[in-house]
Amino acid sequence: MSLDKATVARIATLARIEVPEDQQERLAGELSQIVQWIEQLGEVDTVGVEPMRSVLPLPQHWRADVVSDGERRAEILADAPSAHDGYFVVPKVVE
């Protein structure tokens, strides 16, 4: 796929960037090369290749999905301006 100056101008408008008229031809050539490279990547046979989460073979350490209060109630309430019976005290808001 080859891009022309008009396409570069349209992309610049959509991206809200200013590309001077004299640089649009050069930028069209560079973008065309990038698009050709991406098209080449589409030709690579990836059948049977398992998707990766990372480039390093790191094992996933899953923790149990358990609902808890974090067992830090006293520490958290120590930072509160006001607390009562283990809960935050907030001002009443009535409109």
Instruction: Report pLDDT digits (tens) over 19-73.
Output: 999 999 999 999 999 999 999 998 999 898 888 877 887 787 888 888 887 888 8
Considering the domain boundaries, does residue 94 fall inside one? no
Domain-located, residue 87:
no
List the domain range (segments joined by +) for residue 36: 5-42
Whether 50 is covered by a domain: the verdict is no
Whole-structure pTM value? 0.49
Say if 19 falls within a structural domain.
Answer: yes
11 in a structural domain: yes
Q: Does residue 84 lie in a domain region?
A: no
Number of domains in the chain: 1
Residues 6+ apart with CB under 8 A from 88: 77, 80, 82
How far is it, in rounded angstroms, from Cα 42 to Cα 33?
15
Domain contains 38: yes
CB 14 within 8 A of CB 45: no
- Residue 88 maps to a domain: no
